[in-house]
Amino acid sequence: MTGQQDTFPRMVIVLAVICAAAGLTLGATYHLTQERIRLEQERGRMRALRVVLPEAHANGFREVTAQKSSFAADGRYYEAYDKPLADASRKLVGYALEGAGAGYSSTIRVTVGVDPKGEIVRGIKITSQQETPGLGSNCEAVKSEGTLWDALFGKARQSGEAEPWFQAQFRGQRSDSFVKVGNKYANVDGLTGATITTNAVTDAVVAAVKEFRREVLQIR
Amino acid sequence: MSNWQTFKTGIFKNNPVFIVNLGLCPTLATSTSLRDAIGMGMAATFVLVGSNVIVSAIRRAVPHKVRIPCYIVVIATFVTIVELFLGAYQPDLYNALGIFLPLIVVNCIVLYRAEVFASKNGMASSLFDGFGMGLGFTCAVLLLAFIREGLGKGTLMGYPVIPGFSPTGIMVLPPGGFMTMGLLLGFFSWRKLRTKEHK
Amino acid sequence: MDFGQIFAIIIGMIFVNNFVFARFLGLCPYMGLTKEMSSAIGMGMAVVFVMTLASMATWPVYRYFLDPFGLERILRTASFILVIAALVQFIEMVLQKVNPALYKAMGIYLPIITTNCTILGVAVLNIDTFYKDGKPLSGGFLGSTIQGFSAGIGFTLAMVLMASVRERMEMANIPKPLRGIPIAFITAGLMSMAFLGFSGLIKMT
């Protein structure tokens, strides 16, 4: 660390070597993890589809891109069948759509399942949000059954699949029943202190279904 | 100073958050729930240990004038490794920590330890220093998260603690974070003042 | 990008999602440099300046280099922090030559800005805001620049508010253990409670 070592070429060489080493390490790490990251994203999408259309078969989802329509910007949606895609006797049980709404501090992305006529919401799943912790982010809160003590002694297990109560209330609602009274939707139980998040999610669901009905199912 | 002492100093005597007042941003931002706090603490500890060891290993080769850029590259590398691994194996945590994961790069604790300790000490003691400081930081985030999640949501790790307890929502919001931090810092300086008076 | 969106970004970054009060960013300088009004203003100005330029520099790096080559996950953090470090160094050199008066006012704060989380924070936030599903939105460069600038203004506002309170607190009789940073945190808590009142002023886009 003495002064005479601080020549310009030396500095450049050391920096270059460190950067190269860093690049190599990162490249290797990325190589190790990219497959896993892709799988994980795929699994996340699959999990959302299964939640919003529980009656569909796990292998019964087909990704479709709507032609010549403004639906969901890239026109992507999913057809859901009750049997695997390979099965010829499969029946269409619904569609899954992806919507987004402007929340309080983030864009809220939501996957919506509807019946084949696009009339009834089968379920919704919020796939990404960065809302205020403790208020807006409660849209993903799960009501826990047992207390901490139960959990510690193994009595209650908080299953990862438990559905957040806020999202559960959308199940089975008619898509045209979401009507705003004042600044609130009459048939949606709001999140305490987070009207914006509540409305953003509902808006996203309503808009996605409406657009889908108009653009893809041609129902007006 | 023995390695054990180096390790201990980071947790208690020189706790990076409560005594040196560094790394305040992630401490406040990720302490809304114990789960996030544990994730943040572990991610930061990993980066601290890794960067401390590497900085210590290259300390003689790095010219003085470009040492900060070199350290930053090392730290950024470790942060990206954490980002990639969390994205691959803990995507929920990755999303929950959000912007604060890349921001570990500019967590002052990491650069501070690299500059003050690792660039002057051997690899073994730097390793222990990294662990100690990382654990000190983790403890601080956990303590804050314990108070904020407990009072603000009435839960710990997502489980309700006392049946029928109605939570004080403000505790998980930013004001609650600031005030809890202020009172905790006040508590620690009260303790320091008291031990001084006793001597 | 129309005027309404720009206005929403500005108001949002200054009041609703203020970096200090709502996002917990930049707390180290916020606590360290608000003892006096002069240092608060100097740091605030330096942050506005660097943040705007950093937004202008990092957005193209991501948009035209990292994203097309598929490097966004590997090199985002590293390249952003290096771009910011180089930028700060560059600003320091230029400012010293071109405007010595300004350099004197905010020069000493420039070196510590590199490791200030607000700058990297706004760079990452720009990408989060102006990229949707891995595709860039139109007007991203302008949006990033405005977002960076208004985030800096919001930060300066917080600094100035705190400095004016703390200058008065010097005279107040505060319990000994709370003096200095603890009471500053409690004050910040009260301020951020006030800033909660701005919520719902705009809708995020």
Q: What ranges do the domains of chain C cover?
A: 9-196
Q: Is C186 on the interface with B (CB under 8 A)?
A: yes
Q: Percentage of residues in chain A with pLDDT exceeding 90?
A: 2
Query: Which residue on chain B is closest to A22 by alpha carbon?
Result: B77
Residues 6 or more apart in contact with residue B13 via CB below 8 angstroms: B19
**What mean pLDDT do residues B49-63 have?**
92
Who among B102, B111, B187 is closest to C115 (CB)? Answer: B111
Residues 6 or more apart in contact with residue A12 via CB below 8 angstroms: none
Q: Is C138 on the interface with A (CB under 8 A)?
A: no
* Sign of the C-alpha dihedral computed for residues C83, C25, C63 and C5 taken in this order: negative
Task: Report residue C8's pLDDT band, with 50, 70 and 90 as the boundaries.
Answer: confident
Report whether B114 contacts B52 (CB < 8 A): yes
DSSP H/E element including A124: strand A121-128
What is the total count of domains within chain A? 1
Model confidence at A204: pLDDT above 80: yes
Q: What's the half-sphere exposure (Cβ side, CA atoms, 13 Å) at B169?
A: 13
Question: Terminus-to-terminus CA distance in chain A, angstroms?
Answer: 76
Strand partners of residue A128: A109
Query: Which residue on chain C is closest to A15 by alpha carbon?
Result: C82
Cα C120 from Cα C108, distance rounded (Å): 19
Report if residue A205 sits inside a domain.
Answer: yes
Cα C70 from Cα B63, distance rounded (Å): 33
Nearest to B99 by CA among C60, C137, C117, C159: C117
ipTM of model: 0.88
* Sign of the C-alpha dihedral computed for residues B167, B169, B174 and B178 taken in this order: negative
- What's the pLDDT at B127? 94
- What's the pLDDT at C184? 93
pLDDT one-digit tens code per residue, A15-31 = 889 889 998 999 899 98
Task: Report residue A100's pLDDT band, with 50, 70 and 90 as the boundaries.
Answer: confident
Tokens 């920096």 locate to A15
> Closest Cα of chain A to C203: distance in Å?
7
Report if residue A7 sits inside a domain.
Answer: no
Put simply, the answer to whether A105 touches C17 (Cβ < 8 Å) is yes
pLDDT one-digit tens code per residue, C152-199 = 999 999 999 999 999 998 888 989 889 888 999 999 999 999 998 887
- What's the pLDDT at C205? 43
**What mean pLDDT do residues B175-192 have?**
92
β-pairing, A107-114 with A121-128?
A: antiparallel
B181: chain C residues, CB-CB within 8 Å: 185
- What's the pLDDT at A149? 66
DSSP H/E element including A109: strand A107-114
pLDDT one-digit tens code per residue, B106-145 = 888 898 899 889 999 999 999 999 999 999 999 999 999 9
Query: Which residue on chain B is closest to C184 by alpha carbon?
Result: B182
B174: chain C residues, CB-CB within 8 Å: 21-22, 24, 189, 192, 196
Question: Which backbone phi and psi does C96 adopt, to 5 degrees?
Answer: -60, -40
Cα B32 from Cα B49, distance rounded (Å): 25
DSSP C99-128: -HHHHHHHGGGHHHHTT-HHHHHHHHHHHH
Q: Is B164 on the interface with A (CB under 8 A)?
A: no
Q: Structure tokens of A37? A: 């990251």
* Number of CB atoms found within 10 A of residue A10's CB: 16
B36: chain C residues, CB-CB within 8 Å: none
**What mean pLDDT do residues B145-172 have?**
84
* Number of CB atoms found within 10 A of residue C104's CB: 12
Report whether B183 contacts C184 (CB < 8 A): no
**What mean pLDDT do residues C135-156 have?**
91
Question: CA dihedral in degrees (A63, A68, A73, A75; nearest 10)?
Answer: -10
Instruction: For residue A174, give the DSSP letter.
Output: B
pLDDT one-digit tens code per residue, A109-164 = 889 998 888 888 888 998 888 887 777 888 887 776 666 666 666 655 555 557 78
Cα A65 from Cα C82, distance rounded (Å): 40
Cα C116 from Cα C109, distance rounded (Å): 10
C16: chain A residues, CB-CB within 8 Å: 105
Report whether B168 contacts B154 (CB < 8 A): no
Count the residues in chain C: 205
Strand partners of residue A120: A174
Question: CA dihedral in degrees (A7, A13, A17, A19; nearest 10)?
Answer: 90
Residues 6 or more apart in contact with residue B94 via CB below 8 angstroms: B83, B86, B87, B101
Q: Structure tokens of B66? A: 């470009």
Who among B33, B73, B89 is closest to A18 (CB)? Answer: B73
Report if residue A171 sits inside a domain.
Answer: yes
Cα B48 from Cα B26, distance rounded (Å): 14
Task: Report residue A1's pLDDT band, with 50, 70 and 90 as the boundaries.
Answer: very low
Q: CA-CA distances (angstroms) from residue B65 to A10, A11, B52, B191, C99? A: 11, 8, 19, 40, 25
* Sign of the C-alpha dihedral computed for residues A164, A167, A171 and A177 taken in this order: positive
B74: chain A residues, CB-CB within 8 Å: 18, 22
- What's the pLDDT at A2? 47
Cα C65 from Cα B24, distance rounded (Å): 33
**What mean pLDDT do residues C57-86 have?**
88
Report whether C143 contacts C137 (CB < 8 A): yes
* Number of CB atoms found within 10 A of residue A27's CB: 13
Put simply, the answer to whether B60 touches A1 (Cβ < 8 Å) is yes
Q: Which domain holds residue A210?
A: 46-215
Instruction: For residue A112, give the DSSP letter.
Output: E
Report whether C18 contacts C24 (CB < 8 A): no
pLDDT one-digit tens code per residue, B57-76 = 998 888 888 888 889 899 99
Angle between the C72-98 and C117-130 helix axes, to the nearest 10 degrees? 130
pLDDT one-digit tens code per residue, B87-113 = 888 888 888 888 889 999 988 889 889
* Sign of the C-alpha dihedral computed for residues A25, A30, A36 and A37 taken in this order: positive
β-pairing, A92-102 with A107-114?
A: antiparallel
Cα A66 from Cα A73, distance rounded (Å): 10
DSSP C7-73: HHHHHIIIIIT-TTTTT--SHHHHHHS-SSHHHHHHHHHHHHHHHHHHHHHHHHIIIIIITTTT-HH
Question: Which backbone phi and psi does B157 adopt, to 5 degrees?
Answer: 55, 25
Report whether C184 contacts C34 (CB < 8 A): yes
The domain locations on chain B are 3-198
